[in-house]
């Protein structure tokens, strides 16, 4: 589960987050500036429109000088300004929202770019759903957060324009409205303190909800196979209810401190204004009807922007929390390993030397201890050992998925840190135990959008003996591949993975238990493809079935991150040690399995 977000932001934190979000809008400063200019025009027109009616009432109707021509002129002027206000408002709204959309798209691209360059440690410690939530939900919330800037600027300009208009009409009455400003500031202060905590809880709850959903979808076959539906539904409901409770807390807070509070202040101000006009009338003071109209109009127009600004505070606080989560991801130092400055090495022969290598995933518990291995060009070396012995860890470090700080790995006499990462990945072909397929077709899954022709794709498939099953499909190399390659068998996906790797003509081949999930019969069919792949290449094999590595030039036995035995198959059998025991156990198990299958066939 994701750690809770910060519940209180200091002023320095808010300034930092604000600057971080604003930074994404710098390329679009001109349309933003035009939107703010349009906002100022709308505010000025809104403040002036009641004055037109006030002057018509007091200076025309009040003096009995009204004519049809004057009335039409006033109405036309009022209507013309209103049309101008609508047009400018449309321009402002469209321009601002379009620019905000582009800004968030830029942010989303930046966040995704960061994600694909994060180190594997980050994904080891962070649920997939949490990452998805930051790239999608949080950036979407920040899009609404941009609207806060416009609402605050709009509200502030309207208040300033209306205040100026009220003071030009009656300074005493205007001061009554100004007396409510401190009350508004107190409400804003209270809301800000309470809302940060509530929105922080809500964002974390939503992220956890996404993580739980992503985990359930990924493990649906296990859930259904072991009848865990009810348990998972209960767990999902618990997380969902946590999110609902956070949302309810937000609703309660907004219902108390936002629009209802504004409406109450507006009503109090209007009552006071009407009371003063009524009192003045009883005292025999001449009352201008136009001024009464103007101030009753301003009573709503003065508080409505404040209400909008208060409403925006909810989005502001939500955006601050989301912004802090996005910026935290962007600032995360757990980046994928990088090559040394000026790295220009390349793999030529495939001579691998591992010298005094020690490694830890969490910088606390060592999983590899002082590993020393020398693999000559063209040799096949196999790593064997129990789960957790360190086999895959050596591959993770060799492929630069994780950084190491103790010892070194040399390829052709140069540290792998002096070889550009892209060059290293091109020169080392990796086939994993689980072959991942992307949406698309077979050819694109082999090509992976690289600059390889159809003939090259076909040749690679033929080389690893994958062409038989591909050409048996109705659409051949253009057969559709659904998510994860679910329509293909494990063996077929593995053959596609072999073709994907061999297409790039790597100097070094790494097979990380590449046949572990394949049945024996299928494995025998693809062994010829594996044999072709190994020809003329330095090959490292993490072995699941020891019978498949008997011809390896060197077999290295690992236990708890230490090398405990090494040699070829015959040497290790002669030693009668750990490898001998493992081989005998597997041979015995395979023999009994064959016997059981034979008896089943007889039946």
- In the three-class reduction of DSSP (H, G, I as helix; E, B as strand; rest coil), residue 273 is classed as helix
Token pair for residue 532?
């072709």
Question: Following CA atoms 529, 449, 348, 432 in sequence, which dihedral angle do they give, to the nearest 10 degrees?
Answer: -50
The answer to whether the beta carbons of residues 24 and 107 sit under 8 Å apart is yes
Which residues are bridge partners to 61 per DSSP? none
d(CA 17, CA 142): 11
What are the backbone angles phi and psi of residue 434, rounded to the nearest 5°?
Answer: -110, 120
- In the three-class reduction of DSSP (H, G, I as helix; E, B as strand; rest coil), residue 319 is classed as helix
Question: Following CA atoms 188, 192, 193, 194 in sequence, which dihedral angle do they give, to the nearest 10 degrees?
Answer: 100
Token pair for residue 208?
């956890």
The answer to whether the beta carbons of residues 332 and 122 sit under 8 Å apart is yes
pLDDT value for 383: 93
Beta strands at 428-431 and 508-512: parallel, antiparallel or unpaired: parallel
- Average pLDDT of adjacent 10-residue blocks, the chain of 603 residues: 53 82 87 90 87 81 78 90 93 90 88 84 76 82 80 80 82 80 76 70 78 75 72 84 82 70 76 75 66 75 71 73 84 80 87 92 86 92 88 90 89 92 87 80 86 89 85 88 77 84 88 69 66 82 80 91 92 90 77 53 45
Give the predicted TM-score (pTM) of the model.
0.65
């Amino acid at each position: 589960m994701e750690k809770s977000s910060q519940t209180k932001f200091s002023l320095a934190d808010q300034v930092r987050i604000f600057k971080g979000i604003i930074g994404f809008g710098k390329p679009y400063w001109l349309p933003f500036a035009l939107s703010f200019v349009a906002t100022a025009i709308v505010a000025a027109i809104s403040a002036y429109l009641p004055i037109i009616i006030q002057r018509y009432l007091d200076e025309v109707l009040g003096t009995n000088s009204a004519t049809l021509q004057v009335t039409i002129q006033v109405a036309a002027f009022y209507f013309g300004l209103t049309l101008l206000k609508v047009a400018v408002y449309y321009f402002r709204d469209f321009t601002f929202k379009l620019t905000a959309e582009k800004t968030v798209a830029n942010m989303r691209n930046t966040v995704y770019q960061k994600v694909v360059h994060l180190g594997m440690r980050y994904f080891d410690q962070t649920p997939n759903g949490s990452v998805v939530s930051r790239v999608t939900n949080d950036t979407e919330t920040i899009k609404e957060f941009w609207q806060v800037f416009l609402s605050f600027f709009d509200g502030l300009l309207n208040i300033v324009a209306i205040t100026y208009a009220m003071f030009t009409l009656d300074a005493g009455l205007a001061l009554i409205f100004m007396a409510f400003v401190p009350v508004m500031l107190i409400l804003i202060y209270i809301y800000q303190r309470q809302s940060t905590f509530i929105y922080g809880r809500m964002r974390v709850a939503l992220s956890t909800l996404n993580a739980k959903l992503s985990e359930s979808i990924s493990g649906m076959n296990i859930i259904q196979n072991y009848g865990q539906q009810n348990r998972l539904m209960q767990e999902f409901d618990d997380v969902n209810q946590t999110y609902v409770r956070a949302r309810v807390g937000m609703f309660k807070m907004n219902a108390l401190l936002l629009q209802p509070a504004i409406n109450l202040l507006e009503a109090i101000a209007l009552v006071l204004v009407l009371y003063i006009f009524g009192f003045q009338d009883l005292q025999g003071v001449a009352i201008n009807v136009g001024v009464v109209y103007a101030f009753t109009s301003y009573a709503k127009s003065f508080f409505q922007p404040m209400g909008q600004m208060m409403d925006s505070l909810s989005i502001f606080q939500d955006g601050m929390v989301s912004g802090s989560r996005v910026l935290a991801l962007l600032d995360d130092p757990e980046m994928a390993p990088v090559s040394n400055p000026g790295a220009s090495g390349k793999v030529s022969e495939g001579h691998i030397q591992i010298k005094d290598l020690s490694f830890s995933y969490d910088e606390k518990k060592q999983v590899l201890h002082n590993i020393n291995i020398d693999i000559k060009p063209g040799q096949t070396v196999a790593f064997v050992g129990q789960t957790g012995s360190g086999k895959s860890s050596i591959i993770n470090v060799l492929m630069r998925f994780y950084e190491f700080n103790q010892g070194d790995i040399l390829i052709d006499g140069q540290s792998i840190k002096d070889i550009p990462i892209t060059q290293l990945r091109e020169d080392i072909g990796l086939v994993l135990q689980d072959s991942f397929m992307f949406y698309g077709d077979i050819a694109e899954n082999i090509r992976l959008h690289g600059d390889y022709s159809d003939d090259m794709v076909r040749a690679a498939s033929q080389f690893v003996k994958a062409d038989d099953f591909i050409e048996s499909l109705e659409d051949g190399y253009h057969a559709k591949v659904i998510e994860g390659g679910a329509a293909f068998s494990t063996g077929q996906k593995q053959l596609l993975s072999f073709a994907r790797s061999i297409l790039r003509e790597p100097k070094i081949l790494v097979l990380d238990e590449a046949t572990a999930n394949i049945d024996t019969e299928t494995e025998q069919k693809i062994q010829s493809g594996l044999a072709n792949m190994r020809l003329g290449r330095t090959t490292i094999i993490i072995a699941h079935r020891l019978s498949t590595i008997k011809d390896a030039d060197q077999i290295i036995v690992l236990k708890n991150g230490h090398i405990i035995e090494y040699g070829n198959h015959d040497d290790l059998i002669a030693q009668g040690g750990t490898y001998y025991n493992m081989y005998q156990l597997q041979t015995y198990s395979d023999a009994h399995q064959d016997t059981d299958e034979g008896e089943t066939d007889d039946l």
